[in-house]
Amino acid sequence: MERAENLRPDNLSDGCILCYQGAKLVLFVTGLCDRTCWYCPLSVERKDLDVVFANEKPVHSDADLIAEAEAMDALGTGVTGGEPLLVIDRTARYCKLLKDHFGSKHQIHLYTGRAPTVADLAALQGLVDEIRMHPPYEVWDHIMETEYPQSARRAKEMGFDIGIEVPSLPGIGNLRPMLPLLDFFNINELEWGETCADEMRRRGMEPAEGLYNAIKGAKQWAEEITDDPKVHFCSSGFKDAVQLRERLIRIATMTARNFDEITDDGTIVYGRIRSTTDLSDLLVTFEEGSFEIQPDGSVECEWWLLDDLKGKPGLELEIIERYPNNGMIVEVEPL
């Protein structure tokens, strides 16, 4: 598969460029929201809950956030929710923490369903580089009569890059009058989600055929407006197959142990040995740096070392594939 640099279009915001490279931390600042968008894809573990995550790791302290950002050598951060402006003090504090730690060039973009007020923008000025507004679907057909045009103008005057980012839905062309006020306009291919599936079925929607979660017809709905050079369409397949993969590869490169093998998908593979007896005699045959003894007494090692141990009594051998930085286990293969 091609690397993200080779697939990147030319009409991307600075934040999107870093996303294509897998270099952006995803900071989920709250699951609380004052909108009730029927197409919201948030999981039950996050929706309507005041929780914080950095990538997929829960954040309980400032140190948790910085550790996850350092683990992937993040060049920027995407702040999302829920509605980040509902917890604007928290949002501003985390953005300042990241800018202070990584420097002013650490690019931060923020998603919001609101049209930020002057007070909102002032609280974020110098901390957030790029604002991505998500006008709710019910206002698209009269968007110029809402507060969003004036908010976009204010944001530009106060030094922010300003854009719209919405899912591909029928009638997206109604947002065309906003284009002259924006630096960019992103469309995400509408996706099926566990918490919005009933609402999608109610509207006659169904998943497209294939490996990803895209909704049938979503790409065609986006074509109402993709003729404009400011508009970028981001497919469900790209997010899953390229964007996430690039981020995982980046994290794996920063955090993998000497004996972990990094796959093309950004996961890591290693071997695990369990035994009810002492493994000392076995370990002296391994090269230094090719293994690590765990607190439970098991040994993690280069996966190919297990080939010579198959069939030996008293040993339980497994090849483990997991997300990097002690992430979720993808597969366990007993030998």
> Which DSSP symbol is given to 191?
B
261's tokens: 């093998």
Q: Which amino acid is at 132?
A: R
Q: Are 134 and 111 within 8 A, CB to CB?
A: yes
| pLDDT-derived band at 106, boundaries 50, 70, 90 | very high
- Please state which CATH class domain 4-253 belongs to: alpha beta
Residue 334, beta-bridge partner list: 318
Of 21-30, 86-95, 287-296, highest mean pLDDT: 86-95
Measuring CA to CA, which residue among 19, 23, 16, 7 is closest to residue 184?
Answer: 16
In the block, which residue shows the tokens 């999302």?
A: 80
47-71 in b/e form (b: 16+ CB < 10 A) is beeebbbbbebebeeeeebbebbeb
The CATH 3.20.20.70 portion of the chain extends over 4-253
Is the pLDDT confidence value at 6 over 50? Answer: no
Is the pLDDT confidence value at 242 over 70? Answer: no
User: Residue 212's pLDDT is what?
Assistant: 65
Is the pLDDT confidence value at 184 over 50? Answer: yes
Q: pTM value?
A: 0.80
Decide the pairing of beta strands 107-112 and 130-133: parallel
Is the pLDDT confidence value at 8 over 50? Answer: no
How far apart CA 328 and CA 61 sit, in angstroms, is 21
Of the listed ranges 100-114, 150-164, 207-221, 286-300, the one predicted with least confidence: 207-221
Is the pLDDT confidence value at 263 over 80? Answer: yes
CA atoms within 13 A on the CB side of 150: 5
Distance of CA 228 to the CA centre of its chain: 26
Given its phi and psi angles, is residue 159 left (phi above 0), alpha (psi -120 to 50 degrees) or beta?
Answer: left
Q: Which amino acid is at 140?
A: W
CA 314, 316, 318 angle in degrees (round to 5)? 160
User: Residue 131's pLDDT is what?
Assistant: 98
Measuring CA to CA, which residue among 228, 234, 181 is closest to residue 15?
Answer: 234
User: Residue 2's pLDDT is what?
Assistant: 41
Is the pLDDT confidence value at 70 over 60? Answer: yes
Is the pLDDT confidence value at 185 over 80? Answer: yes
User: Residue 321's pLDDT is what?
Assistant: 95
Q: Are 291 and 301 within 8 A, CB to CB?
A: yes
